[in-house]
Amino acid sequence: MKIEKNEKLKRATKIVCRQGMIPFPLSDTAIAIIDGVVGDHEEELDLIYAFRETSSQTLEQLAASSGFSEEKAKTLAIGLAKKGLIFNQPNSSGLMVFRLLPFMVVGLMEYMFMGELKGTDKEKELAELFEKMTRDLRDQTQKNYDALIPLFEKMPAIDRTIPARKTRDGQSIKIIPVEKTLAVPDEYILPSQSVEEIIYKFDDIAVGYCFCRQRRSLLGDPCKIKAPALNCFTFGKSARFTVEQGFAKAVTKEQARAIMKEAEDSGLVHKAFHPGSRENSPETSICNCCKDCCDTMNLWRNGTTPLVNSTFHLSVIDTNACTGCGICEERCPTEAVKINDEGVAKVDECACFGCGVCSRFCPENAISLKEGFRKVFIMPPRLRL
């Protein structure tokens, strides 16, 4: 029996909605996004539906689950990879694996707006649809706030903060060593704590445009601090994927270091991602985030999802040196630093994710970074909708 396109679209969208750390309800908005991305390529919807049982498949498995020949399944998968819906890279043993990607973190939304945009009506329409999707998710969060708290508390860290290491004038930020043995498993390997270490580890490095700043600009809300946009990094096989699909361009280690320095000079926050949030696995990417455009910070601030981050640092204020100028309060991406009634800066340890931006821009060098592995978890605010 022939299945109409609308039904194929609905069932394919339902499969995409189930993927990733942030599942979305099946909605007209989600369906419109998949329709806009797939377009007239109806067979791509059939291939998406083939992931209904498992999200990662070899070519042989994908051919069996889709009913297409291996050649046809591979061709369709390549087309969907170009659109940011399938990740197609070999696994550690060299076997090609096709993985269906989620709507976001990290998936369709990020890859779609990571390449150089043309400002077309279609790009703007998709940006608006994603914005509506996140608003709908916020409404669902607020409606079910109490019931979601236990689920949110079980979430792994979405990303990991890599601190700035130099002040604005080039001095090293003071690091206060950890005072006791860390309460982490014996097999845990502390991940790299500087962007230089991460860059040094990889032969394949790629950089694309910040998908958050690009999408916000399409929505008529350009970055308030006019931060540079070409600083979204991928590494290893993620870099090979983004280059192959045209989402990013390959860069050398020297070019990567220069771009990272430009990001730090602009006050951006280095946030690293690991596969499956496993921090003892090599990094897949680094975002360089500003607090007004960053999706994870905006989703938290707007009442949609919690801010869940891991870090090895905490800002510490030297109250004797602090003059209360307020630069740290203005710069802090999580609003963790406030000028108190005594006119000096105070850090909310539960909200600080140790990015070092306050230390970098403090004119009195009054802020140090104290070592110590932490998970930062901040519930989204309750809103009156």
Please tell me the predicted confidence (pLDDT) of residue 191.
84
The secondary structure of the chain in percent helix, strand, coil, rounded to multiples of 5, reads 40, 20, 45
Q: pLDDT by residue (tens digit) across 7-39?
A: 999 999 999 999 998 889 999 999 999 999 999
Distances (CA, A) of 251 to 199, 248, 263, 289, 368: 11, 9, 16, 20, 32
* Inter-residue contact 213 to 229 (CB < 8 Å): yes
Distance CA 111, CA 216 (A): 15
Cα 11 versus chain centre, distance: 27
Q: pLDDT by residue (tens digit) across 208-235?
A: 999 999 999 999 999 999 999 999 999 9
Helices 5-17 and 42-49: angle between axes, nearest 10 degrees: 40
**Number of separate helices (H) and strands (E) present in the chain:** 15, 14
Please tell me the predicted confidence (pLDDT) of residue 184.
52
Per residue in 44-54, is it b (16+ CB within 10 Å) or e — as a string?
Answer: bbbbbbbbeee
The pTM of the full predicted model, rounded to 2 decimals, is: 0.93
Distance CA 248, CA 234 (A): 8
Burial zone of 79 (CB within 10 Å; 0-12 exposed, 13-18 middle, 19+ buried): middle
Kindly indicate the confidence band of residue 185, based on its pLDDT and cuts at 50, 70 and 90: low
Report how far apart the first and last C-alpha atoms of the chain are (Å, whole number): 45
Q: pLDDT by residue (tens digit) across 125-159?
A: 999 999 999 999 999 999 999 999 999 999 999 99
For 187-194, what is the mean pLDDT?
Answer: 74
Please tell me the predicted confidence (pLDDT) of residue 301.
96
Would you say residue 119 has pLDDT above 90? yes
**Closest C-alpha to 88, from 286, 245, 246, 287:** 245
Tokens at residue 143, please?
């409606």
Q: Report all structural domains of the chain as residue ranges with CATH numbers, in order of start.
A: 1-101 (1.10.10.10), 146-378 (no CATH)
Would you say residue 66 has pLDDT above 90? yes
Residue found by looking up tokens 């022939």 in the block: 2
Lowest mean pLDDT across 1-10, 76-85, 176-185, 372-381 = 176-185
